Chains A and B, each alone.
Chain A
Amino acid sequence: MKTLIRVLRPCLAAGVTALLVAAPVMAQNTGTVTGAVVDATSGRILTDVQVSIPGSGFGMLTNDRGRFILVNVPAGPVTVRVELIGYGSVERTSTVTAGQALVLDFQLAQTAISLDEIIVTGVGQATARRRLGTTVDVINAQTIAQAPVTTVAQLLQGRVAGASVNATSSQPGTGSLINFRGTSSVFGPQTPVIYIDGVRVDSNVSTAAGTGGEQSSALADLLTTDIERIEITKGGAASTLYGSDAATGVIQIFTKKGTPGQTRVTFRVEQGVEVPELKYIFDMGVIFPVIVADGGAPADFLAQEFFKNGYTQNYYLNVNGGTSAVTYNVSGRVTNGTGTQPKNESTVYAMRGGVRAQVNENLTVDFSGSYTHSSYGRLFNGDAIADPLTTFEVGDALFFSGESTLQGALEVFLSPTITEEVDRFMFSTALRWKASDRLSTRLTVGIDNRSNQQRILEPIGFTPGEPTGNLNRRDRNFNTVSLDAALTYTWPSDGWFTSSITVGAQGFRDEESIINASGRTFALPGAPDIDEAAVIDAFEINTELFNGGGYIDEQIGLWDKLFIGAGVRFDAGSTFGDDVDVQVYPKLTGAYMISDEGFFQDALGSVIDELKLRGAFGKTGKFPEPFERDRSFSATSFRGESAPEFDNPGNTDLKPEVTSTIEFGADVALLNNRVGINFTYYDATTTDALFRVPEQPVTGQGTQLRNVGEISNKGIELGWNVQLLNTQSLAWSVGGTFTTVDNKVTDMGGVAPFSVDASRKRVQEGLPVGAWRVTTPRDTDGDGGFDSSRNLFICASDPLLAIDIDENGVRTPDPGCDGDEVGGPTPTKGGSFNTQITLWNRLNISAMADWATGHQVMDWGSVWSTFNAIYRRELIEGLDCSGNAPGGDPRCFPVDQTRGRRFSSFSAISAFMYDGDWFKLREISVRYLIPETFAGQFGLDRASLFGSVRNLKTWSKNVMIDPELNGLSGGGLVLGSESSITASPPRSFKMGVEVVF
């Protein structure tokens, strides 16, 4: 094969060179195209409208007076296209005369469902949304510009129907838990695959050594800088062409490559304050009342001594411009935040460049590259004894520190230093060659390289940890190379029948290398090196994988109303067992623009402007972890010898789990395009689900991934928006999303129920993945006192009640449990509301709130505090728990009356399960465009002021923990909804100014 490549490579080089040489000399006789764009109904000026000459590379955005000017346009016939999200696109054709200005004004009509929007994700070639039988969500540049967010994960929050995006903590470097359409797998994370400019990137949510629960995440350094648009497929037929990598969905990010015209320099300065969210911090009055009463510490000790207001700075410089042949977009960004907790400072340096070269009218080359360097300071957290926040809130601060004062204890707990440095390079290059009117090709190659170094130093004397000093360093290097190539033949492209067939191939290779070294017991204080330690230990983890395949995708249009898509992906990978065949993922989609039918117009045309019905069936997969297929042995160091043992049992039949999704839906625009609704029902079944099946202990083996299970996810996704007002001076719209998920394990494949994520989350037939199963005190002898404890499932309608499930699956709920639904950690319903107001074309105000219900959460901090005989929840909720027992206040941590003492908290986790419902006023942002007449006095083309607030207010049914957060889970499948004392994301206030010159 290498010989073949050596033969082919010179051929390729010659071919590419020939293409480049063949690029025609650009026309020398040019003119100008200029004009204005307004709203067709109100006459309101429309700013930031994309104006372009398709296929030429010419394009720009309209200014604050709605005007545009395209210079150096070659003389001759020209078609100008005008596009704005929320409006139908318009094309006008005219002729440019050399040396003259062609004036073209446009009126855009609002459209509620963006059917002309071009989608490229999940289809063989770029396709208008009206032709798609699947749902693809899009977040556009305007939304991104207005959103007061830093990372892509934050951007997705509340903006995508069917997506659950939960923050994990306020600490820097942590990522969010992203989940589309429920939990489809139990062996790995649910994070969707992420592509940037066609290149698959690292999305691992556990990239460093554990510090108690909150995890370092590769999502934290995927910034929103210079993103032009994001397309999101949530699995099913829309993701089928990604094969064994897409069961959890695909997020495709496209970055800016610049627009032709004069060079524009954008400079943005942003300053902000972060105010800690103390809603779930109850402080010393509850935990150390004696000390507070004695004057040893104020009742708000943590608020005073631990938390602080954080200060954020963000500086952004962008240079954008180009000619009709070459455009570019280059930016740099520096962001710093001090954090609201001690030792939480973070600094991010980011650079990105994008270039688009129109080599000739048929060949386009895109290049984009980025570099990000992030530095974080962190604290121990979650269930770590060294976690300062938890240890103060549960009463262990003095005990574990050995200090006599809270101030002294805080000094001890803040003495460790946890730092993380992340370097990340990405680049992508893409070639698009239009061989003829019918035949086009594209090729994308790219790399993402992410390396991070984490150091955890526990100094000498750090009594909660290793008092003799301990230093742990973990280096992780991740590299992924991806390739995507396709050839599309389109014919006929007009008429009652259209056809477009794409044949493509796609593959990627991941390499991950982790080296962990630690040193314990140091003689000297300071910041030592590991080699100075008395005891040194080290290990490494190396993995490699390849996955790739070919696909065929056919898109047929009939009468421009009925659209049928069919495709199949063939997939192979290094993670498949030796006896496994190539995997086949088919898809079939259909879309029907029923509103284009005469009968429909006659009957409902006055009310319904556009209605598209759609349906799709498609399969996607999720490949196993690397090397799980092999029988292997490993060895551990023991007393100077290398001691071998059984490692992985091996499975030659190992293959990807497959999710088959059938979905139906409609996109409808009503009332003169004032109301837009997208509705989808989906039913996804994951077969051959990979369970980590325990081998019989008698074999001396551990567990083995096997394709044995079946998981079902069903639900609806609803997105809506309403244009309430549309006048020359005021535009006001409201919108939102609504999502339901019914998640169940439908077949265990003969495997006994087992725990995932944490020991309290179960996988069991008939129950949601991660169903809460916790220790519950019972009165077995009926004497009115608890005398034993059993692991029981919690009741979804009241998590303080239990459901017993026998070996036949028969459920016996506690009296008072409404129904027999078992509670789980994942919300079953969620959604968001948003509103946008534009005043005088200058002032934009937007707000967004999101919510989730139907899940239950666990309060580990209160469990922990019971070890210290502190009944934190009872104290905070003011419960009278004297003599509590069945018949007493069921919210009280139970007393074992037989022995006259409290149950071990390990025996009564059920007392710490709460309803997880929450509602968060997530974002409010305001942007004011300064009049050009004023800005111009300072030599500025454009200037704007903006301000925002994020995480403004939280409401939750339980008062003890922030139910959105996840502060305990480790790697693998992360379902969240359990926290120790974890700081919520702070209220973040920012304001700034942006100038363009």
Chain B
Amino acid sequence: MNAMNSNARPWIGRIVMASLFVLVGLSGCDFLDPTNVDNPRTTSEDLADAAEPTASLLPGLRAKFAEAIRSLVVTTENVSDNYSIHGTGLPKILDDPSSLAPVNLNGGGGVYNTAQALRALGDFVIDVIVPEDDKSTADQVAEARYYRGMAYLIMGENFTAAPVEADGLPLPASELLTRAITDLAAANSGALAVQARAGLARAYRLEGNSSQAESFASSALGADADFLIQQEFDATSITNSPYAFLVSRALQEMQPLPRLDFLDPKYLDREAGIAYAKAEEMHLILAEIDLAAGGMAAGRAHLVDAINMAISRGTTSFTDNDPRANEDLSIRPRDASIVIRADANSPFIAGLVLDRLAGGLPIPTVSATSLDPAVVAGLTDMDDVWHAFHLARQEILFLEGRRMSDLGIRLPIMLREIEANPNISLGDPGTTVVVPSYIPFADEMDLFTPKTLYDGGLLDENQILMGTEVTMNVDMNRVLTVNRVTPF
């Protein structure tokens, strides 16, 4: 199919090749023309022969989107306070946001690379294939625009700047969000309307545009009051990679913050869907808009809506085999008798830790929260409402890749981009991690006391729980409250 291009060779090459042909013939063997090789991959020429190239490439965009969503979760959940790393499969430095450098995010499966891969394939489909494909449909183009819009949204949500073309300068997050909005708006029709509106609400929230955010959050809910849109995975190819670190590995590398234990592991099999648009988030956006505008009652009402919706999602019975091991095989909280307080000034709360060694644990697979809607409805102090809001956002959007951005942390562009792009140097916008000053030192967000909770480590035969009270070092929701962290 793709024989060696001998046409491009000068005369001397032809003489050499001709002599070889002659000698092959002289050998009398059956192999003829040994120079002919077939590339089993699809070449550019092959692609040009596709009958409906846009339709052929759309599954590729769907797959790239799945890769982007799963890597978003793995990277950002570990950088945030939601998870810490205790095994061999993930780089420990993700637990220490201030130390993150472009080199630490250089893996091909990292969120920067997968988001750019989604965006680049989107560009190829929208800018190169669609104009030449007279069989492409409006729905197909809308779907392609949606995925590219989501790529821009992920970049704008988690990076301060990023290039969007070869040799390009990094565009600021505001420009990335503008592009996200443009693409998502183009997808706001037909089958994708609800998720496009949800995406637009997220994008406008990040822009701090309260009116547009409120408009799209409301219209999304208006179209489907309890919508839930998840990216599902494939057990044999693009799997739910968080599942690998939460459940299937011999060492469950990702260990939740003890006060979020009841939400873990959320993804119970390799194909489990990761939500990227759901009604709860719209209620939370509406709540945040009102709270930021000083409307405590309205905000509190939306917050209660979000909590009620989360509770309505229910749980699935799951037998966990995770011994809750730290990297040194000491044991983390794993008994239901343990009570936890969010910091030294908070009350101890029961029910946050499940009996990990017991079977049939009730695990939420979509949303859950420790907040009681009745209690929240009765809150009268603005700080308490804000705290409940941040806790609700953390718990309801747990393992969906929002928390790191909510904490105000922004990742640097991966090193490979900086090194390969002649117009980007270390130190340029987007090339360093952004960690707000209210984020504590190193991995303090993940720590708690007492560190030694059990008598004996994992390898000892008779571990005994020595105490039931656990205190988190820092309550990041209190920190967010005190610092009034919100885009609005």
Contacts and interface: CB of A to CB of B under 8 A. Distances in A.
Nearest to A632: B41
Contact of B459 (A399, A548, A641): A399
A838 B232 CA distance: 75
A628 B244 CA distance: 32
B372 interface: no
A226 to B, nearest CB: 25
Interface string A513-553: 00000000000000000000001110000111110111000
B464 interface: no
Contact of B234 (A483, A543, A638, A752): A638
Contact of A635 (B17, B37, B60, B235): B60
B333 to A, nearest CB: 18
A631 B43 contact: yes
Nearest to B457: A869
Nearest to B418: A752
Contact of A445 (B27, B87, B461): B27
Nearest to A902: B328
8 contacts: A8-B26, A443-B27, A445-B27, A505-B19, A544-B37, A574-B35, A638-B62, A644-B56
Given A544-B37, A630-B2, A632-B43, A582 B27 contact: no
Contact of B328 (A572, A693, A869): A869
Contacts of B9: 572, 581-582
A399 B458 contact: yes
A696 B238 contact: no
B12 interface: yes
A936 B60 CA distance: 78
B4 A546 contact: yes
B43 A578 contact: no
Contacts of A626: 37
A572 B419 contact: no
B142 to A, nearest CB: 18
B124 to A, nearest CB: 7
A2 B328 contact: no
B416 interface: yes
Interface in A362-393: 385
Nearest to B96: A788
B329 interface: yes
Interface string A546-581: 101110000000000000000000111110101101
Interface stretch (A194-202, A645-653, A681-689, A988-996): A645-653
Interface string B381-419: 000000000000000000000000000000000111101
A535 B235 contact: yes
A576 B459 CA distance: 57
Interface stretch (B112-120, B283-291, B480-488): B112-120
Contacts of A635: 42, 59-60
A55 B249 CA distance: 69
A481 interface: yes
A16 B25 CA distance: 13
Contacts of A550: 15-16, 19-20
A906 interface: yes
Contact of A4 (B25, B118, B119): B25
A97 interface: no
Contacts of A505: 16, 19-20, 23
A349 interface: no
Interface residues of A, number: 88
A698 B62 contact: no
A867 B327 contact: yes
Nearest to A807: B426
Interface of B: 2, 4-5, 8-10, 12-13, 15-17, 19-29, 31-44, 46-47, 56-57, 59-60, 62-64, 66, 87-88, 91-92, 99, 103, 108, 112-113, 116-121, 123-124, 162-168, 232-238, 250-251, 327-329, 414-417, 419-421, 457-459, 461
Contact of B41 (A578, A579, A627): A627
A398 interface: yes
Contacts of B103: 791
A333 interface: no
Contact of B99 (A639, A702, A788, A867): A788
A906 B28 contact: no
A626 B37 CA distance: 9
Nearest to B4: A574
Given A546-B37, A697-B116, A902-B328, A632 B42 contact: yes
B28 A9 contact: yes
A599 interface: no
Given A4-B21, A572-B17, A696 B417 contact: yes
Contacts of A869: 328-329, 457
Nearest to A396: B250
A646 B28 contact: no
A581 B35 CA distance: 16
A645 B66 CA distance: 13
A398 B459 contact: yes
A695 interface: yes
Given A638-B237, A643-B63, A907-B92, A700 B327 contact: no
Contacts of B20: 505, 507, 548-550
A421 to B, nearest CB: 25
A637 B457 CA distance: 43
A647 B37 contact: no
Closest 3 A-B residue pairs measured CB to CB?
Answer: A700-B120, A643-B63, A5-B25
Contacts of B17: 572
B12 A582 contact: yes
A698 B108 contact: no
Given A395-B459, A630-B41, A902-B328, 8 more contacts: A2-B33, A5-B25, A535-B235, A633-B47, A644-B42, A645-B64, A752-B416, A869-B328
Query: Which of A638, A697, A791 is the most central at the interface, judged by chain B CB atoms within 10 Å of its CB?
Result: A697
Contacts of B59: 635, 638, 641-644
Nearest to A904: B92
A698 B35 contact: no
Nearest to B29: A445
Contacts of A545: 37
B31 A698 contact: no
B428 to A, nearest CB: 14
Interface string A420-455: 000000000000000000000001010000000000
B38 A544 contact: yes
B329 A868 contact: yes
Nearest to B113: A697
B92 A700 contact: no
A698 B25 contact: no
B317 to A, nearest CB: 19
Query: Which of A542, A548, A576 is the most central at the interface, judged by chain B CB atoms within 10 Å of its CB?
Result: A548
Given A507-B34, A638-B238, A582 B10 contact: yes
Contacts of B112: 697
A642 B59 CA distance: 7
A443 B26 contact: yes
